[in-house]
Structure 1
Amino acid sequence: MKFSDLGLNQQLVTATEKANYQTPYPIQIEAIPAILGTQDILGIAPTGSGKTASYILPILQILQGKKENSSRNIPVLILVPTRELASQVAQVADNFSRFLNRRVKTVAVFGGVSINPQMRKLNGTDILIATPGRLLDLLSKNSLQLSQVEILVLDEMDKVLNMGFREEVNQILSEIPKKRQNILFSATMDETLEKMISSLLKDPKKITVKAAEMDVDLIDQYAYRVEAEKKGPLLRHILQSGDWKQILVFTSSIRTANNVANKLVKNGIDAVAFHGDKSQGARTEALAKFKSGKTRVLVATDLAGRGIDIQFLPLVINYELPRSPKDYVHRIGRTGRAGATGEAISLITEEDLHHFKIIQKKMKKHVQLRSTDDMDF
């Protein structure tokens, strides 16, 4: 199967070739023709399944048959949970639209940065990618209109709801026409989302893509038993004892992430915190420096950490355990990718022991618990 077999025009096929998209992913094979046929879509698909291209490509083609937008009335609205995803989707759209005959203007708007530059960009926008809160801010300032939305995309809807944006989404839905094409993607399904889907989607094409199984055997896991007040010194000892070029440290709170990063810097270890309270510019810069190797240690919370995708990350450290075994697997899965080996270290206090046993049971893998009694730190 080729992209040319999915009903895409030659300009978009060329764009996929230039982007080194060799063959379409399963979700793209199913979604692209259905979206071109104006069908509603319900996709249950994890990150990395190719879902962004599965809706961006057909939307770009649909827009080719329409006049260029010269107003602030948005024809295509894409709602996303985070700043990072908004920027990522916008980049995909820009890359694929380079060879099109009809210009397509894509704008991403999100909080954490000044609203004024975003307001100035909105005129003539064809595709608006927005986080719910910032979109409502723009609506309250009459910076755009949603009365002519023809296509609505709800991407990573489970995260949108988990982040507490349900009321914002309902308010946005009340502002857009009832007659429209709806495209909804979510990694998981629960009762709240099912109720929304039943009222939102009309006879949708259902697409399910299972998450790729992570081979935990490729990850060398071990843990250190440590008193809570000695976690910081132990972390510094670990970082100074190895030659890892990139280390991702997970904490459970923004406050802890800041404290850990600051202590590391004071002790001569190049580190930066990465979390939702940072401005978009600070987060983008921190992630870029970490990916390029200019910053050795990134101290992140779980939510911010979802935007981190590094193929050969050698070490992940759980400074604090996550709430669920699933989040633990998601954390350590940042290493050991693409067949490469990796390491995952957890710092375990007396209070963590029971929870850590549950994580191991759910993961179906024993993790060696090492003593720190003979360690000099």
Structure 2
Amino acid sequence: MSFSSLGLSESLLKVIQQQNYTKPFPIQAQAIPVALQGRDVLGIAQTGSGKTMSFVLPILELLRKASPSRNRHVGALVLVPTRELAIQVEEVVRLFSAALSERIKSLAVYGGVSINPQMIKMQGVEILVATPGRLLDLVSSNAVSLSEVRMLVLDEADKMLNLGFRDEMADIFKLLPEKRQNLLFSATLSKEVLNLNEILLYDPVVVKVEAQEQNLDNITQLAYYVTPERKGPLLRYLIDQENMEQVLIFVSETMRADAVVVKLRQNGIKAVALHGKLSQGARTRALADFKEGRITALVATDLASRGIDIEYLPYVINYELPRSPKDYIHRIGRTGRAEAPGTAISLVCEEDRHHFKVIQKKMGRWVNFTYTDDINLQGF
């Protein structure tokens, strides 16, 4: 199946081709045609399965044919659980809306930053991507009205429920018009999501894509046995010797991320940290600089890394191992995407060896160890 068979306009198909998307993911192939018919959709698919385009493309297609909403009355509302996801979804909206002859303005709004600039930018917005709490703040400030919403999307609904947004979501639903299209996407079909489905959706088409194991075939996995005092120099040695121009480095905590960045910079390597204690502006700049290649190394904690989605990332380094095998696979799965090769490197100390053995056993793959005692790290 190709994107051209889904019912999308030529302008959107052109952007899809320019972005080197050759064929739709299963969730896209099943959800897009149904959404274009105006039907409600309940989509169940794991994170990273292509859900965002499954609702962004139908929203743009349907809104471009509709008359514009009144000022500060949005036509499409996308609710998400985190500010990182809000930014990421809105970036996808802007990417595809730029190709349309009809001007469709979008905006991402979220907490943790000043509300005033967001209030000002609400002028003329047709597609609003929002976290629930900040959206209600904007509504109470009369910065936006939800009375003309034609399409409502709940992305990662299970996470919104788990993160305690139930009451805020209920308040938002009361502000929406009864007649609208609803698209609900979730990684799991929990009891809470089913209850939400019964309240929210009208005769929905259920699209369920079974979770697939991470394909690790394109990823070369390496492990280096190192003493704790030589770990930092070894990291810098590897970046230098492998001529790494873009590398995502994982650490276990915020303080470690900052400390690693300091040492990298002292040794002439452009690096920034990404963790929860940074301001939203700093996190956004760090991600943008890394994606655009303005820095070499992004040093991230697992929580902060959830918004990182780079199609061609050549290197991932586990400076510290994650707690679980699942997180390990999530980390190294940031490379080796889009059928491009990638390299995942783990720095393993003596106290880590048993844990790393458990990770390998759960993963079903064994990683060759390189001992580093004979590597001259002087100067690194």
Contact 1:15-1:95 within 8 A present in 2 as well: no
Contact 1:156-1:186 within 8 A present in 2 as well: yes
Residues 224-233 or 363-372, more deviating? 224-233
Counterpart-to-counterpart distance in 1, 2:129 and 2:293? 30
Contact 1:149-1:177 within 8 A present in 2 as well: yes
Classify 1:370/1:140 alpha carbon distance in 2 versus 1 (closer, same or farther; 3 Å). farther
Contact 1:251-1:320 within 8 A present in 2 as well: yes
Counterpart-to-counterpart distance in 1, 2:99 and 2:269? 45
Contact 2:218-2:340 within 8 A present in 1 as well: yes
Give the aligned partner of residue 13 of structure 2: 16
Give the aligned partner of residue 122 of structure 2: 122
RMSD: 3.1
Task: Write out aligned runs for 1:227-242 (5 A).
Answer: 227-228=227-228, 230-242=230-242
Counterpart-to-counterpart distance in 1, 2:218 and 2:94? 36
Counterpart-to-counterpart distance in 1, 2:202 and 2:174? 17
Give the aligned partner of residue 264 of structure 2: 264
Give the aligned partner of residue 218 of structure 1: 218
Give the aligned partner of residue 353 of structure 2: 353
Give the aligned partner of residue 205 of structure 1: 205
Give the aligned partner of residue 278 of structure 1: 278
Query: SS at the partner of 1:248?
Result: strand
Runs of 5+ consecutive residues of structure 2 not aligned to the other structure = none
Residues 25-34 or 94-103, more deviating? 94-103
Contact 1:312-1:340 within 8 A present in 2 as well: yes
Q: CA deviation at 1:119?
A: 0.4
Query: SS at the partner of 2:77?
Result: strand
Identity %, equivalent residues = 56
Counterpart-to-counterpart distance in 2, 1:301 and 1:369? 24
- Aligned residue type for 1:13: E
Counterpart-to-counterpart distance in 2, 1:326 and 1:59? 33
Contact 2:257-2:273 within 8 A present in 1 as well: yes
Residue 40 of structure 1 pairs with residue 37 of structure 2:
no
Contact 1:15-1:98 within 8 A present in 2 as well: no
Residue 85 of structure 1 pairs with residue 85 of structure 2:
yes
Q: CA deviation at 1:110?
A: 2.4
Counterpart-to-counterpart distance in 2, 1:253 and 1:89? 27
Task: State the Cα deviation string for residues 304-333 of structure 1 (Å, max 9, x = none).
Answer: 323323344332111222232222112111
Counterpart-to-counterpart distance in 2, 1:98 and 1:375? 51
Counterpart-to-counterpart distance in 1, 2:336 and 2:216? 8
Give the aligned partner of residue 144 of structure 1: 144
- Aligned residue type for 1:328: Y
Contact 2:77-2:129 within 8 A present in 1 as well: yes
Counterpart-to-counterpart distance in 1, 2:347 and 2:190? 32
Q: CA deviation at 1:137?
A: 2.8
Task: Write out aligned runs for 1:1-377 (5 A).
Answer: 5-8=5-8, 12-20=9-17, 24-64=24-64, 66-98=66-98, 103-161=103-161, 163=163, 165-177=165-177, 179-210=179-210, 213-228=213-228, 230-377=230-377
Counterpart-to-counterpart distance in 2, 1:80 and 1:93? 14
Counterpart-to-counterpart distance in 1, 2:363 and 2:288? 32
Contact 2:11-2:100 within 8 A present in 1 as well: no
- Aligned residue type for 2:134: R
Paired residue total: 374
Q: TM-score normalized by structure 1?
A: 0.84
Counterpart-to-counterpart distance in 2, 1:312 and 1:63? 32
- Aligned residue type for 1:267: N
Task: State the Cα deviation string for residues 98-123 of structure 1 (Å, max 9, x = none).
Answer: 56575433222223443222101223
Classify 1:162/1:223 alpha carbon distance in 2 versus 1 (closer, same or farther; 3 Å). farther
Contact 1:320-1:347 within 8 A present in 2 as well: yes
Contact 2:15-2:99 within 8 A present in 1 as well: no
Query: SS at the partner of 2:298?
Result: strand
Runs of 5+ consecutive residues of structure 1 not aligned to the other structure = none
Contact 2:44-2:208 within 8 A present in 1 as well: yes
Q: CA deviation at 1:179?
A: 5.0
Q: TM-score normalized by structure 2?
A: 0.84
Classify 1:228/1:138 alpha carbon distance in 2 versus 1 (closer, same or farther; 3 Å). farther
Q: CA deviation at 1:181?
A: 2.5
Q: CA deviation at 1:5?
A: 4.7
Counterpart-to-counterpart distance in 1, 2:98 and 2:237? 49
Q: CA deviation at 1:155?
A: 1.4
- Aligned residue type for 1:202: Y
- Aligned residue type for 2:282: A
Classify 1:197/1:229 alpha carbon distance in 2 versus 1 (closer, same or farther; 3 Å). farther
Contact 2:69-2:148 within 8 A present in 1 as well: no
Contact 2:107-2:122 within 8 A present in 1 as well: yes
Counterpart-to-counterpart distance in 1, 2:166 and 2:68? 32
- Aligned residue type for 1:73: H
Contact 1:68-1:124 within 8 A present in 2 as well: no
Q: CA deviation at 1:76?
A: 1.8
Classify 1:117/1:320 alpha carbon distance in 2 versus 1 (closer, same or farther; 3 Å). same
Task: State the Cα deviation string for residues 160-218 of structure 1 (Å, max 9, x = none).
Answer: 44555445434433443455432111234444434433443333211123456544243
